[in-house]
Amino acid sequence: MMPFMRKESSCPFHISVLALGIGLTFPALAQEQTASEDAPYAALEKIVIKARGRDETQQTVPLSVKAFSSKAIEDAGIKGVGDFVAVTPNLSLTEAQSVGTSFMTIRGLSQVRNGETPMAVVVDGVIQSDAKQFGQELFDIQSIEVLRGPQGALYGRNASGGAILINTKQPRNEAGGYIQAGVGNGDHKQMQASVGGAIIPDTLMYRISANYTDRGGNLTNDNLKKKVDPYEDTTIRGLLKWHVSDDLGIDLRVNHVQDRSGALNYQYQPTHLNADCTADPNNIFDFSKVDADSVSRRFCANNMGFNTRSLDEVTTKFDYNLNFATLTGVASFNRITEKTASDQYPYTASRNLLGGFADGTTGQFVDTKTQSYELRLTSPSKPSVRWMAGVYALMTDRFSSTWTGMDSGSGVVPLERDPQFSSPVNPTNSWLADNNDNKSSAIFGNLDWDITQKVELSTAFRYDRDERKQVVDFRQSTGLPVGCTAGNTSACTKEMSFSAMQPKVSLRYKDQSSLTYVSWGKGFRSGQFNQSGVGAAAAGAGVTGVSDQIGAENTTTAEVGYKTELLNGKLRLNTALFNTSVTNAPYFVFVGALSAQVLVGIDRVTLRGGEFEAVANLAPGLDGSLGVGYTQSVIDAYSVNPTLVGNQAPYVPNVTANLGLQYRFPISQGLRMIVRGDVVSKGKQYWDPENSTARSTVNLVNLRTALEDTKGKWIWSLAVQNLTDQAYNAEFVAGGFVQPAAPRSVRMDLRYNF
């Protein structure tokens, strides 16, 4: 089976014939049917958002915001983080390697493996402290808000690109909940349930939600005759709200996630595969085959990839009314462990190539414990001068090990904190391990002043300081600091610190139906350690410019935006333009010999672009939406290789776009039908500063139909993701390491509300 080759589309937002058919059919249906009066128009809901820590709407806040209500989440069939990212302009997500690994890019600011995120993620008012928390099942969700542009003053560390606010459904006095069951292709099975109510009416309320997903997989290892992408998730979430008095409220939130899945399902393009999945010894390193557009769903590794992830979170939050302000306190405790193990490249059925080149095993283990604390004072929302101020602290203890082993043909034993150099199964070949003790602190605040009824001036600041200490495991097989031994562990320690001020100022002009704003702000993403010795290892592999640490990323962003409503509120238009200057933008390098995952800084990058979003009620029951994001990225300085100046920055799609149509109409006295179609476009993007190969524009068609009780008691739905089964690579890593994206998926769900 030869890799599937796909040519680049000449149009960045090509609408398939099927999607065009959907667009032509919906208006015809609208002429024949009349929607019931109580049918909601999800696209034009007045969603209350807390983008600035207060109750506002999407049309009144001077930010570029994409918001999803509970109804919009249900109508769009949003089940995971990738679903809402796909329909948010200038936001892209790569989900590869493992369940805890995802790479977000927002307006050209990108996350890379083992790196800090370019945006804050806040769940129920609590900031996630680790990137491995992000990729979770989305269920029992009240709203999602995506804020684009620097948000550090309000939402904390690493918010230079923006923030994602996720709010779960809150408990109420009334008892109720739901139960949902789903099935799909790939032997997919899912159960969800939620129940809540009052223990003591008006005083003590609870909500408990749970999800169980078991999927056999859709992609097969031809050598081992097993699915490479199984997935099992168990999530249990509990929320207890205590209204102690009229002035004091306390929330207690617990969350447990346990995942098992396939992992590291990569292919190595330079190696030719024989029909029996063995490597052709005469064509092991044919780099002419390296192409981000070359897609194969054939897997031949002789060891299955394995992944487990465990998340445990306990958070307490209080709000106390002091009359002149509200005092909010948050304390959060998290532990995240993730373990992977798999075959090593070139991922074939062969175990010995060219005599001395052995096909090995590899894996990684991460154990992170975090404690975070925040106190903030927020003034009332009514006065013409509003303010907020606070302090934040984060303490992180993170152990990480990366290893390779010899493949004896007996399978893979995942390693955690200790190498196994004498293991009879897969003796350790290389071992990189360290413990990172990080302390972060910040002080922040903002001031909003209504100069007139139409003009508002906002100023904000945040000062961050990160102190980082790395203790290298003295048993490490390479790259030990000078003098680091079992008897002299003090020589195994490295320390560094980073700090920055992040000011922001914005001016808003608002009349009855429109809003114009301009803003300017700075962002900061802390530097960090790579694993010790990777610089020397990379140089030995011919990769220059790699060191054992990476400096902080700093950004400066200017933005102008305009929002308006037309046609008596039936048409909403929002647009924003931005210019961002970035210093030390992180880039990912993979050193295959050690399976080392390394970060390198690109000295200076310029990002220019914008978003345009339109939503409209086209006819009774018929809603349409269009979103387009454009980012032009240019490398302005790169000391590692100055000849690359002028190239595009890696991981940045030039265009992200989505087109959606949804029609809700009655079919009987008590029943409504929903028919929805979405076209999602992922624009052309490069994966390395060399711009060696690009993944061309990818266009996906998603469909969903549902039957619902008009009283809201039950809903049945059928959804198809990637209807045309478009084959494309989810990720490309320089050198020809690729992971194909998921094929077409079909799922059916039945939900009952009580």
For every residue of 664-715, DSSP letters joined together read EEEEETTEEEEEEEEEEEE--EESSTT---EEPPEEEEEEEEEEEETTSSEE
To the nearest 10°, the Cα dihedral for 434, 439, 440, 443? 180
- pLDDT, residue 213, reads 98
**What is the C-alpha to C-alpha distance for residues 738 and 692, in angstroms, rounded to an integer?**
14
Which residue has 């977000």 as its token pair? 104
* 27-82 residue pLDDT tens: 333 333 333 334 344 557 777 777 676 778 888 889 999 999 999 999 999 999 99
Q: 138 and 70 in contact (C-beta within 8 Å)?
A: no
- pLDDT, residue 530, reads 84
The answer to pTM > 0.85 is yes
Q: What letter represents residue 674's amino acid?
A: I
CB-count exposure of residue 744 (10 Å: 0-12, 13-18, 19+): middle
CB-count exposure of residue 385 (10 Å: 0-12, 13-18, 19+): exposed
* 614-645 residue pLDDT tens: 999 999 999 999 999 999 999 999 988 899 99
How many other β-carbons are positioned within 10 Å of the β-carbon of residue 60? 15
Which among 547, 555, 497, 493 is positioned nearest to 526, based on CA atoms? 497
Three-state DSSP class for residue 721: strand
No. of H helices and E strands in the chain? 5, 46
For residue 731, list its beta bridge partners.
Answer: 739
To the nearest 10°, the Cα dihedral for 19, 22, 27, 32? 180
DSSP state of 623: E
- Sequence-distant (6+) residues with CB within 8 A of 550 are 527, 528, 530, 584, 586, 599, 600, 601
Which among 577, 576, 630, 693 is positioned nearest to 91, based on CA atoms? 630
**What is the C-alpha to C-alpha distance for residues 80 and 659, in angstroms, rounded to an integer?**
19
- Sequence-distant (6+) residues with CB within 8 A of 298 are 1, 3, 222, 267, 273
**What is the C-alpha to C-alpha distance for residues 398 and 417, in angstroms, rounded to an integer?**
12
To the nearest 10°, the Cα dihedral for 377, 381, 382, 388? 40
pLDDT-flagged residues of the chain (< 70): 1-43, 51, 53, 114, 156, 354-358, 537-545, 591-597
- pLDDT, residue 592, reads 60
Q: Output the six-digit token pair for 529.
A: 């350690």
Q: What letter represents residue 5's amino acid?
A: M
- Sequence-distant (6+) residues with CB within 8 A of 404 are 344, 360, 361, 362, 428, 429, 430, 593, 594, 595
Q: What letter represents residue 288's amino acid?
A: S
Q: Output the six-digit token pair for 74.
A: 């249900």
**What is the C-alpha to C-alpha distance for residues 605 and 309, in angstroms, rounded to an integer?**
34
**What is the C-alpha to C-alpha distance for residues 577 and 163, in angstroms, rounded to an integer?**
18
**What is the C-alpha to C-alpha distance for residues 652 and 656, in angstroms, rounded to an integer?**
10
In sequence order, what E strands does 96-175 have? 102-106, 109-110, 119-123, 126-127, 141-148, 162-168
**What is the C-alpha to C-alpha distance for residues 217 and 358, in angstroms, rounded to an integer?**
29
Which among 164, 83, 148 is positioned nearest to 612, based on CA atoms? 148
Could you tell me the sign of the dihedral formed by the alpha carbons of 321, 325, 328, 329, in that order? negative
Q: Output the six-digit token pair for 597.
A: 């995952």
CB neighbour burial string for 502-530, b if at least 16 within 10 angstroms, e if fewer: bebebebbbeeeebebebebbbbbbbbbb
**What is the C-alpha to C-alpha distance for residues 657 and 655, in angstroms, rounded to an integer?**
6
Segments making up each domain of the chain, as ranges: 12-753
324's torsion region: left (phi>0), alpha (psi -120 to 50) or beta?
A: alpha
How many other β-carbons are positioned within 10 Å of the β-carbon of residue 383? 11
How many other β-carbons are positioned within 10 Å of the β-carbon of residue 395? 15
Three-state DSSP class for residue 609: strand
Q: Output the six-digit token pair for 522.
A: 């700075």
* Highest CATH level, class, for 12-753: mainly beta
For the chain, report the end-to-end CA distance as a whole number of angstroms: 51
- pLDDT, residue 385, reads 95
CB neighbour burial string for 536-565, b if at least 16 within 10 angstroms, e if fewer: ebbeebebebbbbbbbbbbbebebebebeb
- pLDDT, residue 488, reads 92
CB-count exposure of residue 463 (10 Å: 0-12, 13-18, 19+): middle
**What is the C-alpha to C-alpha distance for residues 589 and 598, in angstroms, rounded to an integer?**
5
DSSP state of 131: G
Which residue has 């061309």 as its token pair? 696
Write the DSSP assignment of 190-252 as a string of letters: EEEEEEEEEEETTTEEEEEEEEEEEE--S-EETTTTEES--EEEEEEEEEEEEE-SSSEEEEE
In sequence order, what E strands does 492-595 have? 493-501, 504-510, 514-525, 528-529, 549-550, 553-566, 571-591
Write the DSSP assignment of 346-379 as a string of letters: T-SS-SEETTTEE--EEEEEEEEEEEEEEEEEE-
Q: What angle do CA 123, 124, 127 make, to 5 degrees?
A: 45
Q: Output the six-digit token pair for 363.
A: 């894996």
The Cα-based distances of 43 to 168, 623, 663 in angstroms read 20, 6, 11
Which residue has 């240019």 as its token pair? 634
Q: What letter represents residue 525's amino acid?
A: R
CB-count exposure of residue 348 (10 Å: 0-12, 13-18, 19+): buried
